[in-house]
Protein backbone atom coordinates (compact mmCIF):
# COMPACT_ATOMS: atom_id res chain seq x y z
CA UNK A 1 0.00 0.00 0.00
CA UNK A 2 1.40 3.47 -0.80
CA UNK A 3 2.19 5.76 2.10
CA UNK A 4 -0.40 8.50 2.24
CA UNK A 5 -2.19 10.92 4.56
CA UNK A 6 -4.52 8.13 5.73
CA UNK A 7 -1.78 5.54 6.31
CA UNK A 8 -2.01 3.89 9.71
CA UNK A 9 1.37 3.96 11.45
CA UNK A 10 2.50 1.30 13.90
CA UNK A 11 5.22 1.82 16.50
CA UNK A 12 6.70 -1.07 18.49
CA UNK A 13 8.34 0.11 21.72
CA UNK A 14 6.85 2.80 23.95
CA UNK A 15 10.03 4.22 25.43
CA UNK A 16 11.09 7.82 24.98
CA UNK A 17 11.86 7.34 21.29
CA UNK A 18 8.85 5.22 20.41
CA UNK A 19 6.39 7.48 22.20
CA UNK A 20 7.97 10.51 20.54
CA UNK A 21 7.60 8.96 17.07
CA UNK A 22 3.99 8.05 17.85
CA UNK A 23 3.31 11.63 18.89
CA UNK A 24 4.81 13.03 15.68
CA UNK A 25 2.72 10.69 13.51
CA UNK A 26 -0.48 11.40 15.43
CA UNK A 27 0.10 15.15 15.28
CA UNK A 28 0.42 14.81 11.50
CA UNK A 29 -3.03 13.24 11.32
CA UNK A 30 -2.26 9.53 11.30
CA UNK A 31 -3.95 6.88 13.36
CA UNK A 32 -1.18 5.27 15.41
CA UNK A 33 -0.89 1.86 17.06
CA UNK A 34 1.71 2.02 19.85
CA UNK A 35 2.67 -1.30 21.45
CA UNK A 36 4.95 -2.39 24.25
CA UNK A 37 5.41 -5.65 26.11
CA UNK A 38 5.42 -3.80 29.44
CA UNK A 39 2.08 -2.19 30.43
CA UNK A 40 3.84 0.32 32.69
CA UNK A 41 5.78 1.59 29.67
CA UNK A 42 2.50 2.35 27.93
CA UNK A 43 1.27 4.27 30.97
CA UNK A 44 4.47 6.34 30.97
CA UNK A 45 4.16 6.90 27.22
CA UNK A 46 0.55 8.06 27.52
CA UNK A 47 1.53 10.52 30.24
CA UNK A 48 4.63 11.75 28.39
CA UNK A 49 2.70 12.31 25.15
CA UNK A 50 -0.05 14.21 26.98
CA UNK A 51 2.50 16.47 28.68
CA UNK A 52 4.38 17.07 25.45
CA UNK A 53 1.21 17.97 23.57
CA UNK A 54 0.18 20.31 26.38
CA UNK A 55 3.54 22.08 26.04
CA UNK A 56 2.93 22.45 22.32
CA UNK A 57 -0.40 24.10 23.12
CA UNK A 58 1.25 26.43 25.67
CA UNK A 59 3.81 27.49 23.05
CA UNK A 60 1.09 28.16 20.49
CA UNK A 61 2.24 25.40 18.13
CA UNK A 62 -1.00 23.43 18.47
CA UNK A 63 -4.56 24.33 19.33
CA UNK A 64 -6.30 22.60 22.21
CA UNK A 65 -8.51 20.81 19.68
CA UNK A 66 -5.53 19.63 17.62
CA UNK A 67 -3.75 18.29 20.70
CA UNK A 68 -6.87 16.44 21.82
CA UNK A 69 -7.33 14.98 18.35
CA UNK A 70 -3.71 13.78 18.30
CA UNK A 71 -4.17 12.06 21.67
CA UNK A 72 -7.29 10.34 20.41
CA UNK A 73 -5.52 8.98 17.33
CA UNK A 74 -3.15 6.80 19.38
CA UNK A 75 -4.25 3.28 20.31
CA UNK A 76 -2.16 1.60 23.02
CA UNK A 77 -1.52 -2.14 22.83
CA UNK A 78 -0.01 -3.95 25.81
CA UNK A 79 1.74 -7.30 25.77
CA UNK A 80 3.39 -9.14 22.90
CA UNK A 81 1.63 -12.18 21.49
CA UNK A 82 -0.46 -13.26 18.47
CA UNK A 83 -3.41 -11.08 19.51
CA UNK A 84 -1.20 -8.02 19.95
CA UNK A 85 0.70 -8.50 16.69
CA UNK A 86 -2.63 -8.81 14.86
CA UNK A 87 -3.39 -5.20 15.82
CA UNK A 88 -0.74 -4.09 13.30
CA UNK A 89 -2.51 -5.72 10.33
CA UNK A 90 -3.94 -2.44 8.92
CA UNK A 91 -0.63 -0.53 9.18
CA UNK A 92 1.06 0.70 6.02
CA UNK A 93 4.22 1.51 7.96
CA UNK A 94 5.50 -0.03 11.19
CA UNK A 95 8.51 1.49 12.95
CA UNK A 96 10.40 -0.65 15.46
CA UNK A 97 11.86 1.37 18.35
CA UNK A 98 12.90 -1.17 20.97
CA UNK A 99 16.23 -1.89 22.69
CA UNK A 100 19.39 -2.11 20.57
CA UNK A 101 19.29 -5.91 20.68
CA UNK A 102 19.65 -7.52 17.24
CA UNK A 103 18.06 -10.93 18.02
CA UNK A 104 15.11 -9.23 19.73
CA UNK A 105 14.63 -6.84 16.82
CA UNK A 106 14.76 -9.73 14.37
CA UNK A 107 12.04 -11.53 16.32
CA UNK A 108 9.86 -8.41 16.16
CA UNK A 109 10.32 -8.13 12.39
CA UNK A 110 9.53 -11.80 11.87
CA UNK A 111 6.33 -11.48 13.89
CA UNK A 112 5.24 -8.29 12.14
CA UNK A 113 5.80 -9.72 8.66
CA UNK A 114 3.26 -12.45 9.38
CA UNK A 115 0.43 -9.96 9.92
CA UNK A 116 1.00 -6.82 7.82
CA UNK A 117 0.08 -6.43 4.15
CA UNK A 118 2.60 -7.60 1.54
CA UNK A 119 3.28 -4.02 0.41
CA UNK A 120 3.51 -2.45 3.89
CA UNK A 121 6.89 -1.04 4.92
CA UNK A 122 8.86 -2.30 7.91
CA UNK A 123 11.25 0.23 9.43
CA UNK A 124 13.76 0.24 12.25
CA UNK A 125 14.74 3.21 14.37
CA UNK A 126 18.09 1.61 15.23
CA UNK A 127 20.93 4.07 15.70
CA UNK A 128 23.79 1.71 14.91
CA UNK A 129 22.71 -1.84 14.04
CA UNK A 130 22.68 -3.30 10.53
CA UNK A 131 19.49 -2.72 8.56
CA UNK A 132 20.55 -5.57 6.26
CA UNK A 133 20.66 -7.92 9.26
CA UNK A 134 17.08 -7.03 10.13
CA UNK A 135 16.03 -7.48 6.52
CA UNK A 136 17.65 -10.90 6.64
CA UNK A 137 15.05 -11.96 9.21
CA UNK A 138 12.24 -11.26 6.73
CA UNK A 139 10.86 -13.05 3.69
CA UNK A 140 10.66 -9.71 1.89
CA UNK A 141 13.81 -7.84 2.83
CA UNK A 142 13.18 -5.35 0.03
CA UNK A 143 10.61 -3.53 2.18
CA UNK A 144 12.85 -3.14 5.25
CA UNK A 145 14.38 0.31 5.72
CA UNK A 146 16.01 2.35 8.47
CA UNK A 147 14.13 5.45 9.68
CA UNK A 148 16.32 6.82 12.44
CA UNK A 149 14.85 9.67 14.50
CA UNK A 150 16.78 11.65 17.09
CA UNK A 151 15.64 12.15 20.66
CA UNK A 152 13.32 13.86 21.44
CA UNK A 153 11.58 12.97 18.18
CA UNK A 154 8.91 15.72 18.36
CA UNK A 155 11.64 18.37 18.67
CA UNK A 156 14.69 17.19 16.73
CA UNK A 157 14.31 17.86 13.00
CA UNK A 158 16.72 15.27 11.57
CA UNK A 159 15.79 11.77 10.43
CA UNK A 160 18.30 9.43 8.76
CA UNK A 161 16.81 7.25 6.02
CA UNK A 162 18.89 4.10 5.58
CA UNK A 163 18.51 1.62 2.76
CA UNK A 164 20.18 -1.77 3.13
CA UNK A 165 21.79 -3.67 0.28
CA UNK A 166 18.48 -5.55 0.00
CA UNK A 167 16.11 -2.56 0.29
CA UNK A 168 14.10 -1.59 -2.79
CA UNK A 169 15.16 1.98 -3.77
CA UNK A 170 11.47 2.79 -4.21
CA UNK A 171 10.96 1.99 -0.50
CA UNK A 172 13.78 4.36 0.46
CA UNK A 173 12.24 7.09 -1.69
CA UNK A 174 8.75 6.48 -0.29
CA UNK A 175 9.99 6.53 3.30
CA UNK A 176 11.89 9.76 2.73
CA UNK A 177 8.94 11.50 1.08
CA UNK A 178 6.61 10.34 3.86
CA UNK A 179 8.84 11.58 6.68
CA UNK A 180 9.49 14.82 4.80
CA UNK A 181 5.73 15.25 4.88
CA UNK A 182 5.92 15.23 8.67
CA UNK A 183 8.03 18.38 8.50
CA UNK A 184 11.29 16.60 9.24
CA UNK A 185 14.69 17.11 7.59
CA UNK A 186 15.75 13.81 6.04
CA UNK A 187 19.17 12.63 4.89
CA UNK A 188 20.13 9.46 3.07
CA UNK A 189 22.77 7.30 4.77
CA UNK A 190 24.37 4.06 3.69
CA UNK A 191 23.92 1.00 5.89
CA UNK A 192 27.26 1.37 7.66
CA UNK A 193 27.91 1.31 11.43
CA UNK A 194 26.52 4.42 13.11
CA UNK A 195 25.15 5.74 9.80
CA UNK A 196 26.08 9.45 9.53
CA UNK A 197 25.69 11.11 12.92
CA UNK A 198 26.67 8.33 15.32
CA UNK A 199 29.75 7.54 13.25
CA UNK A 200 31.02 11.08 12.72
CA UNK A 201 30.22 12.22 16.27
CA UNK A 202 32.30 9.54 18.01
CA UNK A 203 35.40 11.80 18.45
CA UNK A 204 33.28 14.45 20.16
CA UNK A 205 32.94 12.03 23.05
CA UNK A 206 35.96 9.77 22.60
CA UNK A 207 38.60 12.46 22.26
CA UNK A 208 37.13 14.46 25.15
CA UNK A 209 37.34 11.33 27.30
CA UNK A 210 40.93 10.75 26.20
CA UNK A 211 41.90 14.31 27.14
CA UNK A 212 40.27 13.90 30.57
CA UNK A 213 41.81 10.46 31.16
CA UNK A 214 45.27 11.89 30.50
CA UNK A 215 44.66 14.70 33.00
CA UNK A 216 45.14 17.42 30.39
CA UNK A 217 41.82 19.01 31.33
CA UNK A 218 38.89 17.99 33.53
CA UNK A 219 35.34 17.49 32.20
CA UNK A 220 34.12 20.91 33.35
CA UNK A 221 36.99 22.65 31.55
CA UNK A 222 36.51 20.60 28.39
CA UNK A 223 32.77 21.35 28.39
CA UNK A 224 33.44 25.07 28.93
CA UNK A 225 35.93 25.12 26.05
CA UNK A 226 33.65 23.34 23.61
CA UNK A 227 30.74 25.64 24.46
CA UNK A 228 32.38 29.03 24.88
CA UNK A 229 35.25 28.71 22.42
CA UNK A 230 34.00 26.00 20.05
CA UNK A 231 30.41 27.25 19.86
CA UNK A 232 28.76 23.90 20.64
CA UNK A 233 25.46 24.08 22.50
CA UNK A 234 26.57 21.44 25.00
CA UNK A 235 29.95 20.08 25.98
CA UNK A 236 30.69 16.37 25.50
CA UNK A 237 30.43 15.38 29.16
CA UNK A 238 27.19 17.22 29.87
CA UNK A 239 25.80 15.79 26.62
CA UNK A 240 26.79 12.24 27.58
CA UNK A 241 25.10 12.76 30.95
CA UNK A 242 22.01 14.05 29.15
CA UNK A 243 21.89 11.16 26.66
CA UNK A 244 22.70 8.59 29.36
CA UNK A 245 26.13 7.04 29.72
CA UNK A 246 24.65 3.60 29.22
CA UNK A 247 23.15 4.63 25.89
CA UNK A 248 26.22 6.53 24.70
CA UNK A 249 28.58 3.73 25.73
CA UNK A 250 26.40 1.09 24.03
CA UNK A 251 26.43 3.01 20.74
CA UNK A 252 30.21 3.45 20.95
CA UNK A 253 30.67 -0.29 21.59
CA UNK A 254 28.32 -1.15 18.73
CA UNK A 255 30.18 1.04 16.25
CA UNK A 256 33.57 -0.21 17.51
CA UNK A 257 32.60 -3.86 17.10
CA UNK A 258 30.90 -3.32 13.75
CA UNK A 259 34.00 -1.50 12.47
CA UNK A 260 36.09 -4.62 13.22
CA UNK A 261 37.61 -2.97 16.30
CA UNK A 262 39.11 -0.01 14.48
CA UNK A 263 40.97 1.91 17.24
CA UNK A 264 39.47 5.16 15.97
CA UNK A 265 36.19 4.15 17.65
CA UNK A 266 37.55 2.46 20.78
CA UNK A 267 35.33 3.00 23.87
CA UNK A 268 36.78 4.65 26.98
CA UNK A 269 37.37 2.76 30.21
CA UNK A 270 36.18 5.82 32.15
CA UNK A 271 32.73 5.60 30.64
CA UNK A 272 32.58 1.84 31.12
CA UNK A 273 33.28 2.28 34.83
CA UNK A 274 30.52 4.86 35.16
CA UNK A 275 28.06 2.51 33.49
CA UNK A 276 29.15 -0.39 35.71
CA UNK A 277 28.64 1.81 38.78
CA UNK A 278 25.18 2.90 37.64
CA UNK A 279 26.29 6.53 37.23
CA UNK A 280 24.30 7.04 34.06
CA UNK A 281 23.95 10.81 34.13
CA UNK A 282 20.92 12.98 34.75
CA UNK A 283 18.48 10.06 34.85
CA UNK A 284 20.35 8.42 37.73
CA UNK A 285 21.32 11.64 39.53
CA UNK A 286 25.05 11.23 38.93
CA UNK A 287 27.35 10.80 35.96
CA UNK A 288 30.34 12.93 35.11
CA UNK A 289 28.56 15.52 37.24
CA UNK A 290 26.45 15.30 40.39
CA UNK A 291 22.83 16.33 39.82
CA UNK A 292 21.47 15.46 43.26
CA UNK A 293 19.79 18.08 45.41
CA UNK A 294 22.35 20.34 47.03
CA UNK A 295 25.20 19.28 44.76
CA UNK A 296 27.29 21.97 43.10
CA UNK A 297 28.69 21.67 39.60
CA UNK A 298 32.48 22.05 39.42
CA UNK A 299 33.95 25.26 38.05
CA UNK A 300 36.04 25.04 34.87
CA UNK A 301 39.58 26.29 34.56
CA UNK A 302 38.96 29.18 32.18
CA UNK A 303 42.36 29.06 30.52
CA UNK A 304 41.98 30.35 26.96
CA UNK A 305 45.12 28.62 25.73
CA UNK A 306 44.14 25.26 27.16
CA UNK A 307 40.59 25.76 25.94
CA UNK A 308 41.66 26.53 22.37
CA UNK A 309 44.01 23.53 22.27
CA UNK A 310 41.16 21.33 23.45
CA UNK A 311 38.78 22.63 20.79
CA UNK A 312 41.42 22.40 18.06
CA UNK A 313 42.13 18.76 18.91
CA UNK A 314 38.52 17.60 19.06
CA UNK A 315 37.39 19.59 16.01
CA UNK A 316 40.31 18.24 13.95
CA UNK A 317 39.23 14.70 14.83
CA UNK A 318 35.62 15.50 13.91
CA UNK A 319 36.58 17.04 10.58
CA UNK A 320 38.78 14.04 9.78
CA UNK A 321 35.87 11.71 10.54
CA UNK A 322 33.50 13.72 8.34
CA UNK A 323 36.00 13.73 5.47
CA UNK A 324 36.46 9.98 5.86
CA UNK A 325 32.69 9.40 5.88
CA UNK A 326 32.50 11.23 2.57
CA UNK A 327 35.50 9.24 1.30
CA UNK A 328 33.73 5.99 2.19
CA UNK A 329 30.42 7.04 0.56
CA UNK A 330 28.48 7.00 3.83
CA UNK A 331 26.49 9.98 2.56
CA UNK A 332 26.73 12.96 0.26
CA UNK A 333 28.59 16.08 1.37
CA UNK A 334 25.31 17.99 1.62
CA UNK A 335 23.69 15.30 3.77
CA UNK A 336 26.75 15.05 6.03
CA UNK A 337 26.56 18.78 6.71
CA UNK A 338 22.80 18.65 7.30
CA UNK A 339 23.09 15.64 9.58
CA UNK A 340 25.65 17.19 11.90
CA UNK A 341 23.96 20.58 12.16
CA UNK A 342 20.37 19.32 12.42
CA UNK A 343 20.98 16.02 14.20
CA UNK A 344 23.40 17.08 16.94
CA UNK A 345 23.25 20.88 16.62
CA UNK A 346 26.90 21.42 15.72
CA UNK A 347 27.64 25.13 15.19
CA UNK A 348 28.61 24.56 11.55
CA UNK A 349 29.01 21.75 9.06
CA UNK A 350 32.25 19.86 9.62
CA UNK A 351 33.30 19.85 5.97
CA UNK A 352 32.81 23.62 5.83
CA UNK A 353 34.65 23.92 9.14
CA UNK A 354 37.55 22.00 7.66
CA UNK A 355 37.62 24.35 4.67
CA UNK A 356 37.55 27.32 7.03
CA UNK A 357 40.48 26.00 9.08
CA UNK A 358 42.30 24.79 5.98
CA UNK A 359 42.76 21.12 5.21
CA UNK A 360 46.52 21.45 5.64
CA UNK A 361 45.99 22.74 9.19
CA UNK A 362 43.62 19.90 10.02
CA UNK A 363 46.03 17.34 8.58
CA UNK A 364 48.93 18.83 10.57
CA UNK A 365 46.94 18.54 13.80
CA UNK A 366 45.95 14.93 13.10
CA UNK A 367 49.44 13.83 12.05
CA UNK A 368 50.94 15.57 15.10
CA UNK A 369 48.65 13.46 17.32
CA UNK A 370 49.59 10.33 15.37
CA UNK A 371 53.29 11.12 15.77
CA UNK A 372 52.87 11.80 19.49
CA UNK A 373 50.84 8.70 20.33
CA UNK A 374 51.89 6.30 17.58
CA UNK A 375 48.30 5.04 17.39
CA UNK A 376 46.15 4.25 14.38
CA UNK A 377 43.39 6.06 16.29
CA UNK A 378 44.82 9.25 14.79
CA UNK A 379 44.96 7.95 11.22
CA UNK A 380 44.25 10.74 8.71
CA UNK A 381 41.65 10.00 6.08
CA UNK A 382 43.14 9.36 2.62
CA UNK A 383 40.91 12.15 1.32
CA UNK A 384 42.30 14.57 3.89
CA UNK A 385 45.82 13.78 2.69
CA UNK A 386 44.77 14.18 -0.92
CA UNK A 387 43.02 17.51 -0.30
CA UNK A 388 46.00 18.82 1.64
CA UNK A 389 48.35 17.80 -1.18
CA UNK A 390 46.16 19.60 -3.71
CA UNK A 391 46.09 22.70 -1.49
CA UNK A 392 49.90 22.66 -1.28
CA UNK A 393 50.13 22.39 -5.06
CA UNK A 394 47.71 25.30 -5.62
CA UNK A 395 49.06 27.60 -2.91
CA UNK A 396 52.70 26.70 -3.43
Vertex 40: Cα angle to 35 and 44 (nearest 5): 85
Give the span between the Cα atoms of 185 and 205, in whole angstroms.
24
Contact assessment for residue 236 and residue 213, using Cβ atoms and an 8 Å cutoff: no
Best CA proximity match to 53, nearest among 137, 178, 145, 152 = 152
Contact assessment for residue 31 and residue 73, using Cβ atoms and an 8 Å cutoff: yes
The pairing of beta strand 93-96 with beta strand 121-124: parallel
Beta bridge partner(s), residue 203: none
Instruction: Report the number of secondary-structure helices (H) and strands (E) in the chain.
Output: 18, 8
In the chain the first and final C-alpha atoms are separated, in Å, by: 59
Q: Active-site residues: which are they? A: 127, 148, 160, 198
Q: How far is CA 291 from each of CA 257, 334, 358, rounded to the nearest angstrom?
A: 32, 38, 40
Q: How far is CA 45 from each of CA 52, 293, 331, rounded to the nearest angstrom?
A: 10, 26, 33
Best CA proximity match to 106, nearest among 151, 79, 141, 77 = 141
Give the span between the Cα atoms of 225 and 309, in whole angstroms.
9
Contact assessment for residue 205 and residue 238, using Cβ atoms and an 8 Å cutoff: no
**What is the helix, strand, coil percentage profile of the chain, to 5?**
55, 10, 35
Task: Give the DSSP H or E segment for 261.
Answer: none
Amino acid sequence: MPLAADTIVGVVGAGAMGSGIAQVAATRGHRVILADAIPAALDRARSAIAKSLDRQVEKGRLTVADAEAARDRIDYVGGIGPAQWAQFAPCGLVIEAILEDLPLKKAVFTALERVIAPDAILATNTSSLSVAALGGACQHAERVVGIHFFNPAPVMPLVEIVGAITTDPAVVAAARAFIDGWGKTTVIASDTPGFIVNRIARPFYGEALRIAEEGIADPATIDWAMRDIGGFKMGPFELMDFIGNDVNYAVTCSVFEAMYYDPRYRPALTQRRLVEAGLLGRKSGRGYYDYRDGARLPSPLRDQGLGKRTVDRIVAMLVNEAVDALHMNVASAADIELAMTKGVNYPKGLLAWGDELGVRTVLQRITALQDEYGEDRYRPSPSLRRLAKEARRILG
